[in-house]
């Protein structure tokens, strides 16, 4: 008899498993249908011995002291600031997010102050009465030409939708800068787990009260395991047998390659905003991990309609459908829904950790500890 069954061994499930086991002393069973822990953040050595991320590049960044301190119990860190270049159709490489260097290189200009760059943007920005969509966000800031160069094609490939059909929150993830800062993120903490994500998850789950069963689907064991309460981190619509219809998730195909040379590209990720190639970006892991190796491994990301659910698709009709599932989830006793798929939110890793820690606090208030009931 377990106190808790946790479905999913990603950040949501693993953070909660560790808290329930070590703080409340409860018996926890964590299952995952995949053959490994770590969820989408899973990393492993490939055939050449290079540490790669099976589900695409994961860079940890957060402004939350609490999240950083929490994870620091399970890993040491390697300082890493991610840099991204966009490769245009003519082969030109320019910084992404758009910054002063991007504007200067693209237009053969030599703007030197932030005011000059802001004036450049303002002269091109389109008046948008209400910023609603992902197109509005960009054209209202930098105008249509830069939007078409960097955002329209990339977004169409990534989501199978035009930016005008997507919530503003999607392209709002990427800032526009008037200075020369070429970092992808500006969070106060930007690190990679020193020994990788999987090692960090293994330490989190290594507790006498935690049983981990990988290669185990919930449907196959739900009638065989006995447990009092559950944490669900899989897709919320799956839990309810798609009662209101399927929630759309965007998928990706990851094409992993090893090259017989030391370096493949100048930075961790090169984005391909144009529709002349089917992939959105190429990431080279040694930039992220600091691994020294005579060969190098990269991953191409090819967006796909079918496959594992990687991205909730932020648009109004999907939010409305999710609300229906959320109401069901709220009314389901003894099951806690946590994580990117279970709460249908386009969350980064740190946001999922924060959500799991907040859920743990709510459990502490609402659920008497086993033995105290
Ligand atoms: P997941 O990691 O998806 O874990 C859920 C687990 O539940 C899965 O392992 C799944 O197999 C399992 N599961 C589902 N249903 C069942 C079932 N019925 N039975 C058993 N098991 C089940 N975030 C960042 O902060 N930085 C980044 O650089 C970054 N890059 C990303 C790149 C890509 C390509 C993607 C897709 C995401 C990226 N993210 C990044 C987001 C990050 O992956 C997520 O925030 C995080 O992994 C979500 O954790 P989770 O536990 O909610 O879900
Ligand atoms: N985006 C874009 N061009 C880029 C980078 C991002 O159009 O070069 C848009 C695209 O819609 C993408 C979104 O901005 O899905 C968010 O980008 P981010 O890099 O945060 O995506 P993620 O890492 O979550 O896949």
Helices 11-22 and 349-366 pack at an angle, to 10 degrees, of: 40
Query: Does residue 209 contact residue 302 with C-beta atoms inside 8 Å?
Result: no
One domain for residues 105 and 156: yes
Question: What lines the ligand 2 site, CB under 6 Å?
Answer: 86, 96, 150-151, 154-155, 158, 170-171, 173-174, 271, 273
Q: In this structure, are 116 and 29 located in the same domain? A: no
**Residue 250: inside a domain, yes or no?**
no
Distance of CA 56 to the CA centre of its chain: 9
The answer to whether residues 236 and 353 belong to one domain is yes
pLDDT at 332 over 90: yes
Q: What mean pLDDT comes out for the span 9-37?
A: 98
Asked, for residue 190, whether it belongs to a domain, the answer is no
Asked if residue 264 is part of any domain, the answer here is no
* Residue nearest to ligand 1 atom 16, measured at CA: 234
**Domain with 15 in it: what CATH number?**
3.40.50.720
Say whether both 120 and 164 belong to one domain: yes
Give the Å distances, CA to CA, from 115 to 32, 119, 186, 347: 52, 6, 21, 33
Distances (CA, A) of 168 to 8, 26, 86, 162, 349: 29, 42, 21, 12, 21
For residue 158, give its domain range.
98-173
pLDDT tens digits, one per residue of 339-353: 999 999 999 999 999
Considering the domain architecture, whether residues 102 and 169 belong to the same structural domain is answered as yes
> Is the per-residue pLDDT at 110 higher than 90?
yes
Instruction: Let me know: does 149 contact 171? Beta carbons within 8 Å.
Output: no
Length of the chain: 373
Q: Is residue 34 one of the residues assigned to a domain?
A: yes
- Given pLDDT bands bounded at 50, 70 and 90, which one contains residue 99? very high
Q: What angle do CA 234, 305, 147 make, to 5 degrees?
A: 110
Whether residues 28 and 104 share a domain: the answer is no
Q: Residues 318, 357: one domain? A: yes
Residue 237 has pLDDT above 80, yes or no: yes
What mean pLDDT is predicted for residues 244-259?
98
Question: Are 322 and 237 found together in one domain?
Answer: yes
User: In terms of domains, do 58 and 103 share one?
Assistant: no
Atom nearest to 184 CA in ligand 2: 19
The 8 Å CB, 24+ separation contacts for 104-111 are 106/149
Amino acid 1: pLDDT: 93
Is the pLDDT score of 373 beyond 70?
Answer: no
Mean pLDDT value of segment 29-44: 98
Q: For residue 130, which phi and psi values (nearest 5 degrees)?
A: -135, 120
- Per DSSP, the residues of 98-161 read --HHHHHHHHT----SHHHHHHHHHHHPPP-SS--BHHHHHHHHH-HHHHIIIIIHHHHHHHSS
Q: Do residue 108 and residue 46 come from a single domain?
A: no
Q: Ligand 1, closest atom to CA 55?
A: 34
Looking at the predicted structure, is the pLDDT value of residue 231 above 70?
yes
The average confidence (pLDDT) of the chain is 98
- The 3-state DSSP class for residue 189 equals strand
Q: Which atom of ligand 1 is nearest to the CA of 62?
A: 25
227-232 sheet: strands from edge to edge: 210-214, 28-32, 2-7, 227-232, 335-337
221 lies in some domain: yes
- Name the pLDDT band for 213 (thresholds 50, 70, 90): very high
56 CB within 6 A, ligand 1: yes
Asked whether residue 188 is assigned to any structural domain, the reply reads: no
- Centre of ligand 1 from the C-alpha of residue 256, in Å: 19
Arithmetic mean of pLDDT, 22-48: 98
Same domain, 13 and 69: yes
CB 36 less than 6 A from any atom of ligand 1: no
| Residue 80 maps to a domain | no
Q: Mark whether 133 and 66 lie in a shared domain.
A: no
Closest listed ligand to the CA of 189: 1
ipTM passes above 0.85:
yes
Predicted pLDDT at 370: 86
Domains: count for the chain: 2
Please tell me the predicted confidence (pLDDT) of residue 371. Answer: 78
* pLDDT value at residue 372: 79
Phi, psi of 278 (to 5 degrees): -85, -15
pLDDT bracket for residue 164 (50, 70, 90): very high
The mean pLDDT of 263-291, rounded to a whole number, is 98
First CA to last CA distance, the chain: 16
Q: What is the pLDDT of residue 101?
A: 98
- Can you say whether the dihedral through the CA atoms of 142, 145, 149, 154 is positive or negative? positive
In a domain, 93, yes or no: no
Q: Higher confidence at residue 107 or residue 372?
A: 107
* pLDDT of 223 strictly over 80: yes
| pLDDT tops 90 at residue 359 | yes
**CA 185 to the chain's CA centroid:** 13
State the closest ligand 1 atom to the C-alpha of 61, by its place in the atom list counted from 1: 25
């Amino acid at each position: 008899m377990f106190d808790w069954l946790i479905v999913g061994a990603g950040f949501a499930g693993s953070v909660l498993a560790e808290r329930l086991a070590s703080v409340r002393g409860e018996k926890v069973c964590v299952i995952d249908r995949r053959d490994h822990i770590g969820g989408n953040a899973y990393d492993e050595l490939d055939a050449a011995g290079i540490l790669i991320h099976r589900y695409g590049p994961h860079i940890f960044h957060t402004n939350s002291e609490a999240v950083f301190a929490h994870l620091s119990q399970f890993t040491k860190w390697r300082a890493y600031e991610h840099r991204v270049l966009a490769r245009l159709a003519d082969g030109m490489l320019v910084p992404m997010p758009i910054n002063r260097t991007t504007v200067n290189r693209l237009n053969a200009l030599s703007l030197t102050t932030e005011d000059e760059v802001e004036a450049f943007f303002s002269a091109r920005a389109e008046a948008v009465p209400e910023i609603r969509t992902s197109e509005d966000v960009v054209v209202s800031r930098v105008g249509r030409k830069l939007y078409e160069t960097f955002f329209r094609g990339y977004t169409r490939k990534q989501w199978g939708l035009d930016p005008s059909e997507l919530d503003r929150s999607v392209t709002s993830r990427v800032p526009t800068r008037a200075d020369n800062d070429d970092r992808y993120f500006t969070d106060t903490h930007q690190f990679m787990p020193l020994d990788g994500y999987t090692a960090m998850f293994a330490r989190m789950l290594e507790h006498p009260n935690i049983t981990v069963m990988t290669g185990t689907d919930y449907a196959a064991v739900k009638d065989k395991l006995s447990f009092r309460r559950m944490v669900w981190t899989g897709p919320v619509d799956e839990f309810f047998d798609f009662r209101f219809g399927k929630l759309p998730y965007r998928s990706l195909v990851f094409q992993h390659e090893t090259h017989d040379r030391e370096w493949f590209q100048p930075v961790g990720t090169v984005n391909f905003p144009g529709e002349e190639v089917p992939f959105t970006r190429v990431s080279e892991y040694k930039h992220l991990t600091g691994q020294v190796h005579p060969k190098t491994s990269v991953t191409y990301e090819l967006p796909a309609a079918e496959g594992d659910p990687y991205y909730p698709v932020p648009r109004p009709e999907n939010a409305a459908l999710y609300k229906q599932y959320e109401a069901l989830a709220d009314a389901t006793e003894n099951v806690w829904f946590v994580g990117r798929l279970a709460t249908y939110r386009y969350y980064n890793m740190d946001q999922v950790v924060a959500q799991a820690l907040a859920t743990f606090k709510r459990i502490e208030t609402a659920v008497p500890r086993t033995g105290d009931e």
